[in-house]
Each structure stands twice: as C-alpha cells, then as structure tokens.
C-alpha cells in the first residue's frame, strides 16, 4: 500500500523527523493489530545516526510482546462480551449496549471525580480501565435468577422482589477467586451497585456473602459503600431512565437530570453527581455511540 510521510506534526511542534523504523504488531493468528514506531536514533554523543539491523531485532522483540499483550486483552474482552451475552439471553432487559454504556459512563464519571480529588494520573488511568470492565459486568448475577422473575411481564410481588435483590450477591460470588484487581473491583460493583447513599438500598451489610442461606442486611450508607458501587449506581440508574423499556418510555433529558439532582445526597453520592454533571456532554456522546439499535462493539473496540 502507498504510504507517505505527513510533515504536519513536525511543522506544528518545530520537530524534524529524519528517520523512522516501524514494525507491525502481528498476533498469533497473523492479524495485524497495530504498528510500533521509533524515530531519530542517537549515538552516545547525542548525534543522529542510522538505524541498524540490531535496532530492528530489538524493536521486533518488543513488537512481539506488545502484540501478544494486545491479543490477550482482545481475548479477555471477547470473554467478557460473551458473559454479557449470556446475561442478555436470560434477561431481555439486559442488553450488550446497556452494559457497554454503563461501563463507559462509570469510567468517565470516575475520571472526573478522581481528577477533582487530585488523584495521580497513572492511578486514574489504571482504575478507570478496570472500572469500565467491572461496570459492564454489574448485572451478571442475574443469570442465577429464575426466568419466572426475570421475564415476568407484570410487576414483581414482594417475594419476587426479595429474590431479585439476590442478583447482587450472586454476581459478587462469581468473583470469589480474587486473583486480580479486576476480580476485586467486579465483585465490589456487583455487590454494591444497588446500595443508596441514604442507606435504603440493598443487599446491605452482610458478614459473609458465601454463607447459605445469606440474609439481606441493613443498607450501607454514604462512604460505607465502595466508590465503585456509588459510581455504577448512578450510571446504571441514568441509563435505565433515558432508555426505552418494555414497561416504560424513555424519560426526557430534563426529567432525568432533575431526578438525579434531587436524589443527590439521597440515592446518590453528591460528589459523584457533581462529577456526572460536569461531564454530561461526554455522557451524551457515549449514549450516542452505544445506541440500542447499534451492533455490539468489536472485541478490540
């Protein structure tokens, strides 16, 4: 394919690119997923010199490692999307685009919250990436709820509502083997995304979610609820309000925002609401990207 050098970046920055060494990132199934590029090699005196065959070998080594890392990330995302699809098959209200929106909302709300709190940039990026995935898995526990409840065309009675609340516990139990930060955060989100700032949420304070049977406890309040749960709680409710469902029409923007504002300090953490409102244009852009009629994103998306 024909390629040519674009001098625009050099012209903007006053830099001068004199040589480029580029190596494709190729996965084990021979798919090119990117390019690793280095420019302007210097010798020990700080003078420009030509790339050498040794440079090519070294860059290929790093490119192979990078391609393998990207391939593993793509496989992980594919597994996550399949897990969400399993939940979607069980629960007609749980769609892949809903999960993607909630994950994306949560990541951006966290980014704004953390920036205002003075969290270091590297820490923000790491937690943001993990929270996006954990947010996508927030309702995975619904796969353990009976179809008679999930697919009931009418409202739930008191006992059915009580059983539905256990999807938070079932979801957290799926991440019992906390072998990674993602497992820990996913369990946190699954368990706490229906808690309320004012203590009226569920499943509440439970000493051991793995006991059988496990009783629902008194609701957690304020900062007893992990930050991840407080953020996903808002992201999930927002998306439910502005989305059309079989049992309701989509709420308008004004009605939705009024509700969220009035629930600040009641259902939602006030600082999380402030962060959400600060980036509302980003929230709208995410909603447009993952529209209900859109196809699910690719594994690398």
Residue % of the chain over a pLDDT of 90: 71
pLDDT at 73: 86
Question: What pLDDT, in 10s, does the model give residues 67-76?
Answer: 999 999 888 8
For the domain made up of 92-289, the CATH class stated in words is mainly alpha
pLDDT score of 103: 95
pLDDT in tens, 205-251: 999 999 989 999 999 999 999 999 999 999 999 999 998 776 678 89
pLDDT for residue 98: 87
Given a cut of 60, whether residue 95 has pLDDT beyond it is yes
Instruction: Report pLDDT for 246.
Output: 62
- Three-state secondary structure readout of the chain: CCCCCCCHHHHHHCCCCCCEEEEEEECCCCCEEEEEEEECCECCCCCECCCCHHHHHHHHHHHHHHHHHHHHHHHHHHHHHHHHHHHHHHCCCCCHHHHHHHHHHHHHHHHHHHHHHCCCHHHHHHHHHHHHHHHHCCCHHHHHCCHHHHCCCCCCCHHHHHHHCCHHHHHHHCCCCCCCHHHHHHHHHHHHCCCCCCCCCCCCCCCCCCCCCCCCCCCCCHHHCCHHHHHHHHHHHHHHHHCCECCECCCCHHHHHHHHHHCECCCECHHHHHHHHHCHHHHHHHHHHCCCCCCCCCCCC
**Domain 1-90: assigned CATH number:** 3.30.450.40
Tell me which of 296 and 126 has the higher pLDDT: 126
Same fold, 1-90 and 92-289: no
Domain boundaries defined on the chain: 1-90, 92-289
Confidence of residue 22 (pLDDT cuts 50, 70, 90): very high
């Amino acid at each position: 394919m024909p390629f040519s050098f674009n001098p625009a970046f050099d012209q903007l920055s006053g830099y001068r690119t004199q040589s480029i060494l580029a190596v494709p990132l190729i996965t084990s199934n021979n798919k090119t997923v990117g390019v690793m590029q280095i420019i302007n090699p210097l010798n020990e005196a700080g003078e420009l010199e030509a790339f050498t065959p040794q440079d090519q070998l070294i860059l290929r080594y790093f490119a192979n490692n990078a391609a393998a890392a990207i391939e593993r990330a793509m496989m992980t995302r594919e597994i996550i999307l399949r897990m969400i699809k399993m939940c979607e098959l069980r629960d007609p209200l749980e769609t892949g685009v809903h999960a993607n929106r909630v994950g994306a909302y949560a990541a951006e709300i966290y980014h704004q919250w953390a920036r205002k709190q003075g969290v270091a940039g590297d820490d923000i990026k790491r937690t943001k990436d993990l929270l996006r995935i954990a947010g996508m898995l927030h309702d995975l526990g619904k796969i353990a709820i009976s179809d008679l409840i999930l697919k009931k065309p009418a409202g739930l009675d008191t006992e059915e509502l009580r059983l539905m609340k256990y999807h938070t516990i079932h979801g957290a139990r799926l991440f019992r083997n906390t072998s990674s930060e993602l497992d820990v955060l996913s369990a946190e989100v699954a368990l706490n995304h229906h808690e309320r700032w004012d203590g009226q949420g569920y499943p509440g304070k439970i000493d051991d979610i793995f006991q059988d049977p496990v009783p629902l406890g008194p609701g957690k309040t304020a900062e007893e609820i992990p930050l991840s749960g407080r953020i996903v709680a808002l992201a999930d409710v927002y998306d439910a309000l502005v989305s059309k469902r079989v049992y309701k029409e989509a709420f308008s923007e004004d009605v939705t925002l009024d509700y969220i504002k009035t629930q600040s300090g009641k259902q939602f953490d006030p600082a999380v609401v402030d962060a959400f409102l600060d980036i509302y244009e980003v929230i709208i852009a995410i909603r447009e990207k993952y529209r209900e009629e859109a196809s699910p994103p690719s594994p690398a998306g």
